[in-house]
Every structure is written in structure tokens, then in C-alpha cells.
Structure 1
Amino acid sequence: MEGEGFNHKGDYKSKSNLPDSVRNVLPEHAQEIYRASYNNAHTEYHLKKNRNNPTDSLEEICHKVAWSAVKKKYHRNKDGNWTEKK
């Protein structure tokens, strides 16, 4: 996933570099949670020995961790929009 906005370490430099599937649906604060969680997971799991299942791709793990973090503070409302939990 090398490219603009995705640095040599594999993490996202800014919210503007997040995938469209994240940027187009999550509020700003949720995007920050996603970005920070993704980057932390990338640091933690870049070595296969640190993964529960070493055959899982690093990118897949990072996205799962990031979405899990978002879902702790946000949920989809009945209209399908992501809103902060109360």
C-alpha cells in the first residue's frame, strides 16, 4: 500500500490520506481515532511473531484494529451515519 500519504513505515500521515471508505463515512474525530489506531497496530504487529495468526496480512490486522477502536466510541445510527456514543 505504498503511495502518497502512506509512508515507508506503512502508516497514515494524516486524515486526508485515509482510504475513501473511511474518510467518506466517519466524522473527523472518528477518523483521528481510526488513523491513530491503525498506525499503532502497524507498529505493534509489523513483525509476524507479534500476530496471533502470522499468516494474516499486516494491512488486514491494522484495519480490523482501527475499526474496532472506532466502534468503541461511535456507532451507526438508524440512518446509517456514524455518531458518537452517549
Structure 2
Amino acid sequence: MPYRSNKDLPLGVRHHLPPHALDIYREAFNHAFASHAGDLRQEEIAHRTAWAAVKRSYVKLGDQWLPRRPAS
């Protein structure tokens, strides 16, 4: 199911990601969920896509997710 706000995201996501990363996750999830309508793995695909989107902008160091540095 699509998420209306970051408050609606799963607890595991909300408690681990910073606010901007939550926005990225939610937007990517919602887009992928809509794009894969009718697929039996729709929700799984959407969650995987959302995590991949977060990982393009953030890196996990220990227990923290930090913004990636721009390529110089």
C-alpha cells in the first residue's frame, strides 16, 4: 500500500533513517508500488526499490545513515 506520510512508514524504516532519507524512501516506494500494480511481488519490489534509492544518497556507518559526499 502506498504511504501518505513518513509517519505511515514501517517502524523499522522510521526508526533508522533521517528525515530526508524517509522522504526518499516513501517517494520511491510509492512510485515503484504504482509501477508494479498487479505483480504478486508488488510490495516486495517497492520496498527493495525504496532501499536502493536511499542507498544512492545515504551510507550506513555503524547504526547511523549519513548523506553520501558528492563525487569530487
Does TM, normalized by the shorter one, top 0.5? yes
Could you tell me how far apart the structure 1 residues matched to 2:37 and 2:12 are?
23
Query: Could you tell me the TM-score, scaled by structure 2's length?
Result: 0.90
The structure where strand makes up a greater share of residues is 2
Match of 1:17 among 8, 12, 17: 8
Equivalent position amino acid for 2:4 in 1: K
Corresponding pairs, count: 69
RCO higher in structure (CA 8 A, sep ≥6)? 2
Query: Could you tell me the TM-score, scaled by structure 1's length?
Result: 0.76
Rg (Cα) greater in structure:
1
Structure 1 runs (4+) deviating above 4 angstroms are none
Could you tell me how far apart the structure 2 residues matched to 1:70 and 1:80 are?
15
List alignment gaps of at least 5 residues for structure 1: 1-9, 49-54
What is the alpha-carbon root mean square deviation over aligned residues? Answer: 1.0
